[in-house]
Amino acid sequence: MRRARRTVGPTPLAVLALVVLLTAGCEAPLAPDSKKADATATPSTSVAPTPTASASEPTPTAATPSASTVPTPSIEVPALPTPRDVGSLLGGDISWPQCPKGMGIPEKRSEGLPLPDSSARFVVIGLTNGPGFVANPCLASQVAWAKSHHLLVAAYSVISGPTRFSPSGVTGEELGRRQAQFNIASLKKAGLQTPIVWLDVESVPHFDWGSDKQANAAVVRGAAQGYTDAGYAVGVYSTPYLYESVVGDLALRVPEWRAAGQTSRAEALRRCRRDWVIQGGAGVLGQWVEDQRDRNVTCPGASVQLPRWFHQY
């Protein structure tokens, strides 16, 4: 007799395991991919965002300060006084001849001549007693007189060639330079202040120049250099004839003080013109002699620059 065959189906445990595996197989690949994409596209709220420049709010830098913190510099220029031509001024010049009578070296004894009168607005004071290396014997008292009268003041010095008063063996430009140094020491000792020293170039009685005009010119050049080295301007006092007879055609081209001798104020003013040029400079003063006084007048236009020619006491 045949026995019937028994069919065995899946157990409940196997079915449960299969369900679990199918469920895991469907969900497992999605979770990691989804989280990875989220992390890349959206930054975490715990990470500070990188600041970016905004067109409406520019970021200030240390190199460019704000306009509100930098003051605007002032470029205002104060008004300057306009130079004014006060017209021709009258004045005088004095030196050893106006010292009390009997002073100075034997060849140049003072004569006690009168000082400038009350019309004088300025005075030019001589520094020498004739030749170089001999001081005006009453320089200090003449400076004191000018101060007491509150005059405009300048200075002049006679320039000379070698004399018995000159340093031994010194000639040429060095001789002129030392004369300037000697005279500067004299004016400082007397308390004389001046912006300019006029070089008196002419024959010097008893101490005349030699016949070599080139050698004479070297002395005058040295004197001019000596004064300018010390901070003084220089000018020339003379006439065309006297100047040429001493130094020839030496052209310093500095301001000029022109002598007219025993003439008049009108003639002194005519000497201011170009036809009386001495050595290439402009006329500043004209001089004439009247009533035993050396009288002077400023040339047209010179009074515009009075501080250039005088010190005011």
Low-confidence winner among 10-19, 139-148, 171-180, 220-229 (lowest mean pLDDT): 10-19
Say what percent of the chain tops pLDDT 70.
74
Low-confidence winner among 35-39, 224-228, 260-264 (lowest mean pLDDT): 35-39
The boundaries of the domain holding residue 116 are 90-312
Whether 43 maps to a domain, the answer reads no
Whether 61 maps to a domain, the answer reads no
> What's 271's domain CATH number?
3.20.20.80
2 — pLDDT class (breaks 50, 70, 90)? very low
Whether 22 maps to a domain, the answer reads no
285 — pLDDT class (breaks 50, 70, 90)? very high
Whether 8 maps to a domain, the answer reads no
Whether 154 maps to a domain, the answer reads yes
Long-range contacts of 240-247 (CB under 8 A, 24+ apart): 240/276, 240/277, 240/278, 242/201, 242/202, 242/203, 243/201, 243/202, 243/278, 243/279, 245/203, 246/201, 246/202, 246/203, 246/209, 246/213, 246/216, 246/220, 247/201, 247/213, 247/216, 247/217, 247/220
Asked whether residue 87 carries a pLDDT value surpassing 80, the answer given is: yes
If one counts the domains in the chain, the total is 1
Among the listed residues 211, 218, 268, 217, the one whose alpha carbon sits nearest the alpha carbon of residue 90: 268
Whether 215 maps to a domain, the answer reads yes
Asked whether residue 77 carries a pLDDT value surpassing 60, the answer given is: yes
Whether 37 maps to a domain, the answer reads no
